[in-house]
Structure 1
Amino acid sequence: MTGGPAATLSRAVDVALDRTVAPGFTALGLGVRRRLPGWPADPRPGVLAGRHVAVTGASGGLGRRTVLDLAALGATVHLVVRDMAKGERVASEVRAAGSEARVWRCDVADLDAVRAFADAFVADGTPLRALVHNAGALPPTRTESPQGHELTQALHVLGPVLMTERLLPALAPEAGRVVLVTSGGMYTQRLAAHDPEYVRGEYSGSVAYARSKRGQVELLPTLAERWAPHGVTVHATHPGWARTAGLDASLPTFSRALRPVLRSDAAGADTTVWVVATEPTPPGGRLWHDRRPRPTHVLGRTRPRPVDVEDHLRWVLGATGLDG
């Protein structure tokens, strides 16, 4: 959006939708933005032909839709899932539409499983255009991963960082793009560098989820710098409020109350697909929502001190064994 009264008005409407949260995160927000001057163009048809993209949590919800929409742009999609049967059902949809798909088993919260999957993928010799970290969960009670880490942190932070590091040999030849699918809930939380494993206080699944998503976003600049020598960019995408089976199960009251204005799965996956497929590569190290870079904080109280970010990174590298 550059130049002229129309562009100025467009920017003002876009920012207003963003800052008021509810309208911007709903189907209304995307519907309005699509009609504003300067809306970024769709990726061209077939742009991903001959390219490979891996998506975690691909057996349902936004992961499934992301896979289907990337395949429609020509990508060979790799579904990284816990349940092979569910993954194969989605892969069958892809193949029925004339595209190629392969299913890999991996529990992203299990760091040993992440290492095994990544090593097998690299050994397979497939170059990756993009790696989409979509797998997610919102447990009602405090749950630990096989390595003893709080589940949301293991699934949303530790597993994705470790997986990306191990897949750098596959991503580097393609100047790969890494996408962390985050959540607007992170706007309510500050970085829990003092208690990343959530061992203090009364546990709340929704707070733990938002804390882990905040952790993803605070790592963006550091991860961008860490992976830049490999030619790999990292991005976070916020899908808005999209209706999925996962949302219905984890936040049923929220889902029922907002059902008339929740986004479709395709609308929720739109920016993730756009970041993967658009040319040229969007600037890395940023949070994206509705195809625009967005601020990572709307409340001053959530801004971390530099030392908190350093402590968080130190914990992530130590927990994943990458500090060695």
Structure 2
Amino acid sequence: MSLGTRVLDTALDRAVVPGYTRIGYSVRSRFWPADPPCGALEGSTVVITGANSGLGKAAIAGLAKLGATVHMVVRDPEKGAAARAEVQAVAPEAHLELETCDIADLTSVRRFAEDFLERHGSLDVLVHNAGTLPPERRETADGNEITLATHVFGPFLLTALLRPALAAAHGRVIFVTSGGMYTAGLHVDDPQYAEGGYSGTRAYARTKRMQVVLAEQWAAHLDADGVVVHSMHPGWADTPGVAASLPGFNRIMAPLLRSPDQGADTVVWLAAADEPARMTGRFWHDRRDRPTHITPWTREKPEQRAALWDLCVARTGVDP
């Protein structure tokens, strides 16, 4: 990338609205890294959570078109079956397997991981895409706040349990986060959001910040296994989740929102391109690694990072 295009790219990023919307996608796609070659994922096995709509469904189509066998992890089998049919309509040769698992439910995660490992000795790509933005505080059967369970504890446990399969393939792990994490620091003093008034958007941003930190930590833990770990944010995309959780934002920004395919582009690129395999622990948007902080007040201390890891170990019962 030339100095001029790098400056333009950074300016789009810092301005947020042009960078996160379809404007940024349109501009950057003219000079970003090349698409993975046809068949880049032929023979590969991919697991993606939150697979029945939005970014997940779009990513599945892109991954399947590159030859991957994609395991679609969903909570609702009926919605999952409908999503699989939609993907097969645009990618008739796609190899899609429907899996049922509630990522927020740790018992469900253990059950799925055990079953998957019995059937598969290796896993090339694990995409943590499942997300939620509830209007009020709710807890899971495990006693965890639902956003924290969905974005943090479930993915942590699933990564730990599938580690042998990822190591066997020298695979890749991708966390789908959000640019909203830039507004949040690492909150480990009240991770369950038990104190004060609850805000779904703040809980979302906090747990997305946690995902970015955990991706860096997992990168260090899995480096010896030959597994790379990255996080990314899709920008602002027009998905059912955004429409349901942020209707006002969706209505105002509708003309500028990215399509799900545009939002999922970097997920597919991270899973299949050569460049991301040569590094680990990076945070990406539109096929370029980005800073994880843009304001000093969000920067976490080493002891906060350690506390997050210890919290995940304590709540999931696994110590990678």
> Partner letter of residue 84 of structure 2?
A
Residues 211-267 of structure 1: per-residue CA shift (max 9 Å, x gap): 000011122222111112222111101000000111000000011111110000000
Look up the match of 1:4. Answer: none
Residues 32-53 of structure 1: per-residue CA shift (max 9 Å, x gap): 11123xx100010111111111
Cα root mean square deviation, aligned: 1.2
Q: Which of 247, 252, 257 is residue 252 of structure 1 equivalent to?
A: 247
Gaps of at least 5 residues in structure 2 are none
CA contact (8 A) 1:110 1:146 kept: yes
Look up the match of 1:29. Answer: 24
Look up the match of 1:297. Answer: 293
Deviation at 1:92, TM superposition (A): 2.5
Q: Which of 312, 319, 322 is residue 318 of structure 2 equivalent to?
A: 322
Deviation at 1:282, TM superposition (A): 4.6
* Cα distance in 1, alignment partners of residues 215 and 158 from structure 2: 15
* Cα distance in 2, alignment partners of residues 88 and 144 from structure 1: 27
| Match status 1:306 vs 2:299 | no
| Match status 1:286 vs 2:279 | no
Gaps of at least 5 residues in structure 1 are 2-6
| Match status 1:61 vs 2:57 | no
Q: Which of 14, 21, 26 is residue 19 of structure 1 equivalent to?
A: 14
Look up the match of 1:132. Answer: 127
Aligned residue for 1:190, secondary structure, equals coil
Look up the match of 1:163. Answer: 158
> Partner letter of residue 283 of structure 1?
M
CA contact (8 A) 2:121 2:168 kept: no
Q: Which of 221, 226, 229 is residue 221 of structure 2 equivalent to?
A: 226
Deviates more, 1:95-104 or 1:232-241: 95-104
Q: Which of 263, 267, 277 is residue 258 of structure 2 equivalent to?
A: 263
CA contact (8 A) 1:114 1:162 kept: yes
Q: Which of 45, 65, 70 is residue 77 of structure 1 equivalent to?
A: 70
* Cα distance in 1, alignment partners of residues 108 and 259 from structure 2: 32
Deviation at 1:206, TM superposition (A): 0.4
Q: How many residues align?
A: 317
| Match status 1:214 vs 2:219 | no
* Cα distance in 1, alignment partners of residues 183 and 199 from structure 2: 13
Aligned residue for 1:256, secondary structure, equals helix
Residues 264-304 of structure 1: per-residue CA shift (max 9 Å, x gap): 00000000000001125152101000000000011111001
How many percent of aligned residue pairs carry the same amino acid?
Answer: 50
* Cα distance in 2, alignment partners of residues 150 and 54 from structure 1: 24
> Partner letter of residue 255 of structure 2?
P
> Partner letter of residue 265 of structure 1?
P
* Cα distance in 1, alignment partners of residues 226 and 161 from structure 2: 15
> Partner letter of residue 292 of structure 1?
R
Deviation at 1:126, TM superposition (A): 4.6
CA contact (8 A) 1:158 1:316 kept: yes
Look up the match of 1:43. Answer: 36
Aligned residue for 1:54, secondary structure, equals strand
CA contact (8 A) 1:243 1:262 kept: yes
> Partner letter of residue 45 of structure 1?
C
* Cα distance in 1, alignment partners of residues 223 and 256 from structure 2: 39
* Cα distance in 2, alignment partners of residues 247 and 104 from structure 1: 24
Q: Could you tell me the TM-score, scaled by structure 2's length?
A: 0.97
CA contact (8 A) 2:55 2:260 kept: yes
